[in-house]
Structure formats: structure tokens, C-alpha cells
Chains A and B, each alone.
Chain A
Amino acid sequence: MNLSDVTERISRKLESSGAQPDRQKIESRLRRLVEEFGVNVAEAERTVTGDLAREHNLPNLVSSSSDLRPINEIAPGEWVTIEGKIVSLTPSISPSIAQNGIIADSSGAMRFVVWSRANAPAMEYGHWYRIESAVVDEYKGSPNMKIHSGTTISQMEKDVPLLPSITPSAELAPGVGSVRAKVIQDWDVLSDRMLQTGLLGDESGTIKFVIWKEEGKEKLELDGVYNIYYATVDEYNGRLSLTLNTAMYIADEGDIEVGRNETEIQGALIHVAPGSGLIKRCPVEGCNRSLSRQNYCPVHEIQSNFRYDLRLKGVLDDGERARNILMQRDLVEKLTGITLDEAISIAESNPIGMDEIFYRVRNAVLGRYYTCSGGEFAGRMLVDSCAPVTFKPEELAALLNRAGGEVA
């Protein structure tokens, strides 16, 4: 830990209570404790904070690390005392970690780690503990409580049932979260260690989930609605995902109207990709993959009882960004004026077959302006609605004004 970071933290803490501390003084006091007296940084921070709080007459800061705090108010960098219930314990991934899991109170939940070197008593799932002088830092973008040798853990006699608060999926942040969601997609697992992966949705949007193989973990049912308590929320490449290994999930009644993370884009369709137009799909239930010209499915091999479908894979480009889009049959029919039945009969009576439909679709849409809205998924927009852009005289007038004030 860097002393200037600590200085900054102490200064902010005092400033937030209305004091105006001298940063140089703080740093020199810290340095003295750490370098001359060999005090560890965390302890030096506590001492200096306490001294300064007394000097500035801020008594409530002095006892900050022993004041009981609600979990959802704790930020990385704080020394805290909390009372919480162990709601999840996950197998340790390293010999230097004795235990890790999630601790919760009525305000929220947080991941924690107990270092082996802390020699702390093992905590049990479902029990309440008072944890004094633990330190909270940031791990992969979310707050994480570290229990070290200076932390006191005492088991409590309390057994208050906790009702985790459900968060809309669109408002989840890295850390721990509970959702009520429906399983809307169940994907193929690509790793031996993975039990299940797919997409969950609630009214506010969708989020990817993963369950790693572990004793006692069960799969979610496709289309089932679940209450998922204390899942781990991770961020990867700017996208959130839920890991359910820390979570308790219970099937729930009812259904959810899944909201989509809809975006709208307007631009010119500048590319129609191969695989657009009339395609054949694998008839095996739940497969639906598109077949090659020889009716070969990458999973189910030759399928001659295929069914036909229309789709459009292309690029919509607004001059600033080029985005991949995918449209299903109903939209392709609407934009091109060719129905699936017509497309089939044209293809079956034409010497170039399905290529003829590709050309007709391409000639109908390529180079034209459209407004598309839909959800973005794996770098591609799945278009729900699409309309041609129409010419609006007021836009022309506005642009003339913008270009021409002084010229006209």
C-alpha cells in the first residue's frame, strides 16, 4: 500500500466531515510511524486518523472502525466492524485462503476472504458473526472484505431471517446481487468444468449466467423463473455476468415479461452477408442451426427433412460505426416484399436456386437507410423492428441553417 494513497484517503475522510487537513503533515506522520517505528501501514492509518480526528474535534471518526456499519454502505479502503450472516461458502482456491464466501446483513451482501495466516476460527454457513477490524478492498472491481490476523470474529446467538433485496438485472453492479429472473436461453457448455451457461432475463433486461461444476449444484430449467440469492456479479470486457455457485436459487411461481436492453440505430445497410436470404434449418428439436447446401448440420449431420427460413445478416453503418445486424423472417418479408412461401417456390423453380433469393434480398435492401431497434448480443444486433428512413424536410432546413448562416 502506497503512503500517498493512504494520505489521500485520510484527508478525504476528514474533509467529508468538514475539516481541512494538511496533507503533508498526514504523510509525514504516516511515514514516521511506518519507517521509523515499523508500524504496519494499516495500523498507522488508524492511528493517524484517530489523532487527526481528535485534533479536529471529530469524535465520531475516532471510533470508525469499531462502529457497526451496514454492509451496503461500506466502500473499498475502509476498516470496518460488521454483523452479518454467512450466506455462502465456496471452496478455497488457494492454500493461502482459509475460507471465502459471502456475508450478508439486512442492507446487503459482500464477498469476503479469510487469510490462512489470520488463524481465525472457521465460520459456519448460516450463522451470524460479529467481525471487528476487517479491511475492505477492491477485487475485480467489487468490494471484498479481508479477514486478517488483527480481525476479531465472534459468533452471535442471533438468528434473524434475512430477506435479500432483489435487484433489477439492469441495475446490478460488480459484487454480490440477488435477482428474480427467467431462464431464457440455455447455451452449449464449452468447458468440462462448466455445468451450465445461458441467459437470464427480468423486466429490466438480460444477463449472462454461469454455474461451474460443483458438488450439489443443479441446473436451471429453461423457461423457469427463479429467485436467485447472493450470486456473484462479475464484469468482463464491460459486460456483467452472474456466477451462481455462491448463490441459492429457488424456483418461483409465475412468469416474467422479459425486457430487452433495446437500442435504436439508424444508418445505411452497406453489406449483406453470405447466409442471408433463403436458408435451410436443422429440424432436430431445439437445434435450428442453419444447414450447409448439402443439408449438413454441424451437430446432427445430414438432415434432409430440413425446414426453410428467411433471414438477413448484414452491416448497418451510420458513418461513425458499422454494426452487425441479424433480422428474422418476418422483418425480411416486410422489407423485401417476398414471403417465405414465394421465396421457396422461386428457389425451387430457378436454375440458381437459393442464390436467386440472396440476390433479390440484397438488391431490395443494400444501400438503403433503415432505423433498427433490438437487443445487442455477442457483437450483433438482433433486430426486433425495422423501418425505412423517410425524408424529412425539417431536417433539410435544419442542416441548411447549420451549414449556411453566413454564406446565404
Chain B
Amino acid sequence: MSAIRKWFEDRTGISTLIKFALDEPVHGGAKWSYIFGSGLIFLFILQAVTGIIMTAYYSPSATDAWGSVYYLQHKTSFGWFVRGIHHFGSSAMMILAIVHLFQVFIFGAYKKPRELNWISGVILLMVLAGFGLTGYLLPWDQKGYWATQVATNIMGTIPVIGKYIKIIHQGGSDYGNFTITRFYTLHVFLLPISLLSLVFVHLALFRKHGVTPYWKMREETIHKCVDPFWPDQVFKDIVFAIGMYAALAGWVFWQGGAELQAPADPASNYLARPEWYFLFLFQLLKYCQGPFLIVGTVIVPALAIAFLFALPFIDRNPSKWPSKRIPFFCGVFSGLAGVIALTFLAMHHDSQDFHIIKQHEEAEIQAALAVKLAAKGIAPSGGLSIFENDPLILGKKIYDSSCRVCHKVQGEGGDTGPDFTDFGSRGWVAGLLKNPKDARYFKEAALMPPTSLSDETLLDMSEFLLSQSGGLLNPNVERVAKGQELVLNGNCVICHAIGDKELKKLGPNLTTYLSKGWLNEFIKNPAAPKFYGTRNKMPPFDKLTDKEMDALIQYLFSLSKDSLIVSQRQEDVKEKLICFWTTQHKDIDRFWRQILMKG
């Protein structure tokens, strides 16, 4: 053994190097208060290891990024855990870096001759922020996409050069493939290289000047009481590292891994929120409106950073006692208090805002749905295609953009046209027959008079009318027969054609009323003579493709609880969604139960 070691030592000097690295005297003794710096090194290694293995799964392109992260998260055994460690590890690093900064500040370790040590540390903190910012976008999910938009727009507010800085980071005038490749280059090459070089400088300077002991410690104790770095300090560092990893792993399990939202949709109006450690900046921007925007985006952050850089040169008093540095303590801690207050305000506001809570819920449902749809495979056209290939979702999107202005669903939407809550259900049609002039239906525009027929009779007629489409859930044969009798031999056929698809009468042709074919023709041209003719008020939607029209009709069907095809489909989706949520949590529950039982 020692012969091998000697062989290597003679050729490489490796033992000497290790000895040099570990054999540092810690003046004043090893301390728990020195663990933060090495804790950061550990977290960086952890981020590097988890990050590197994730690059073996990640695909940096606007079409593939989400899918590859989805695969990592949901299709591999440890992907969710590794990604979770990396995701929450970044937060842990941020917290620890701040703690490290404050420990160094409180101990007065930035003072002469350690100015450059402090400055390299401040730059390292900014590099860390850069990591967080660039990494947030890489999954190309809704959250990352929209939050990063804010960040690049902030870059754009820098006077004169902002425009160019923004375009260089985005890789163009808008988000796309080059945004992702550039953020990827920054996140996995440029920032790590910068961080490593800076850490090297930071550590070399630290080795040169040594630790800065507690200010109360007397000079003679510092000289007399010397512990070796190995093992006295290393042991404390390792205990801290293992504690952090355990806490991090526990947190990842508790959270069920890092979140992956639905794929980025440039057409959506997602509410952008940055990662929590940027929330204070986000909140600050709320107070900087109009021409003052630049105060929040550039001036305040630049002043804060300038202050940190200048600190060792302003505070030239060699004494490390806090009582001798009261103005600086006030400055730094009021800065911290401001950041905490702004962060709290941002979180508090979001937790109280009904719209934001609702949007969070919607986003979670979308995310769960995305995961379910992606299991069937994602078309090469990109992550978003999973929704476009799902008719109900595409249909709702078309409805929201085209129909909602005039038609209400569940109290949301315009008032011009009929309310589409329960559209096409037995009750909806019966209500229409009862009084077309009702506020829920055609209001004053209706030509058809209200009727005094009983509700039961109206339901019979509704049953018959809807049964024509073949899509009615559990049609009641008796009611259909009764309704048919009433409709065909009653007053209805005076104004409405039933049976002949092309026949024109005063009112709309009701042959196969509300069937797929009927809706298709109607939506394309409601002003056709067989429908409303000259009395029509609805614009034609003839620009929709077949696929879009199909999706819209499917969505309209889905509004009715009495629709055969869609009711099954919806149950299916619902069931799977519930399954998704419960199994996710069940898995975690089971995991804990196993752990507890073993314990």
C-alpha cells in the first residue's frame, strides 16, 4: 500500500497536495460558526453532481425541453428525487450564502486586509443569483417561462444598453430556441466556470488570511489555541453537510419533488412569479411605476450592490466589535429587514388575492392534465401539442377566445347570447321552450312566444329533440315518444322544420337539433336561411379548421351533463386526474409509513 502511495507521490506529489489542503492551522480553534463556507462548497458539489446527471436527460430546445423534463420527472426512478434535490438545493444555497454573508459581516471579516475576499464573495452571490435565474427557465414550463419574461424585460430597462443586453440573453427579439440554448450555456458552462474560478480566488485569499475569530477572543488565545483543519474543522463541516443533505432529502420527499407546471404557452395569460428569493425585487417593482420603473429595476439593486462592494473601504476602523460599527450594522440590517418585509408583502398579497389563488389551482390542474396527456407520448411539434391534440382542451381554448364574449358559462362570460351553463342538457332545452325571452336565453330578441305547458311536458319535448342527435345519455323511450307526438303534431312545426334537413321555415331547422352536424353547420353560418336568416346576430365562425370545429363541438357537448360521449370521457379524465393526485400522495404516504414501521 505505502509502496503504491510512494510511487504516486514521487510522480505527482499528490500526498503533499492533500496534506497542504488539509493541514491548515485554524487559529483560535475549530468553530461551528465556520461551517457556512464549506457548507456552500458541499452544496455546490451536490448541485454539480445532480446537474450533470440531469444533462444526460435534458434536451435544450423549445420543443423538447418540457418533454425531457417530464420524462426525467415521471418516467425514471430517481429523476424526481435528483431534480428535487437540485431545485431545492438552489434555494438552500441561496439561504446559506446569505447566512455566510451575514456571519462574515458580523465577525467583521471584510476588513483590511480581506477586502478582496469580501468582494469576490459578493460577486459569487451574484453568480448564484444568475444560476437561479437561468435554471428557472430551463424546464420551459409555464412558471419558468413567464417569470423569466419579467427578468429579461427588466434587463431591457437598463438605459442605453438594456435593449442589447436583453436581445443577447434572449437570443432574439422574442423567446424561442435560442433563449433556451443561451440560458443553458449560461447555466451549465459559463456560470459554473465563473463560479469555480471565483471560489478558487475566494479560497486562496481565505487561506492567505485565515479565519477571523470571534471579536471577543483575546490575541493570546488566538495564537495559543490552534486546531488543525483536518480533522477538527472538517468533522464539523461533514456533520453540517450530512445534516443539510438529510434536511434537503426530507424536504424533497415532503414536497413530492420539484414542481413541473404545464408546458410554456406563449398565448396564455399566466401569472408570473419569480423564485422566492427574487420576490422582494418583484414586490419593489410594484411601487416603481411609469418613469420610476428604472428605480426598482436598476437604481436600487445597483446601489445595494455598490454599497456591498464599497463596505470594506467605507468601514476602515480596524476594530471588529459591533459596538464600533453601529452605523454599518444599521445599514446592512435595515437592508435585510427591507428585503424580508418586501418578500413577506409579496407572499401575503398573493395568498389573499382570490384571482391568484384561483389561477394557482387552475395551473395545478393544467399541470396534472399535462402529465396525464404526456404519458401517451409528445408529438415532435413540442410540449404544448399535448393540449392541442386533446379536443376538450383545444375546444375550451377556442370557446374562451371566440364565444365567451357573448355566452356565459357558470356565471363567467358575456350576456349578449344565451347562457351556456348546462348547454344542450334536458333542462336547458326545456327552459328554452318555456320562455325563449328569458334573460338566460334570447331575451327580447326572441320571436318565439313563451308557453304555459307544464314542466313535465316540456321535458318530454326536450327529450325528443335531443334524442335526434343520438348523443343523449340514457334516452327515455316513453318520453321520446310523447315528446315526438307533441312536437310533430303541435305548434312547433309551424315555424320549425323537423325531419328535412334543408327545409327553410321561419325559425331554425331543428332536424338533428344540437347534434355534431347541426352545430357544425350552425356555427359556420348561423345566418343561413335554414337557421336564423336575417334575424341572426351571431357572427359566422367559418375560419375554424375541421379539427378546431370538432374540438369546439366536443367542448360544447361537455357542457351538458346529459351528453353521452362526453360524459363518459369526462368521467374518465376526472378519474385519472383523481388517480394522479391520490397516487402521488399515496406513494409518499406509503414511503413514510414504511420508514416509520422500519424505525
Physical interaction between A and B:
no
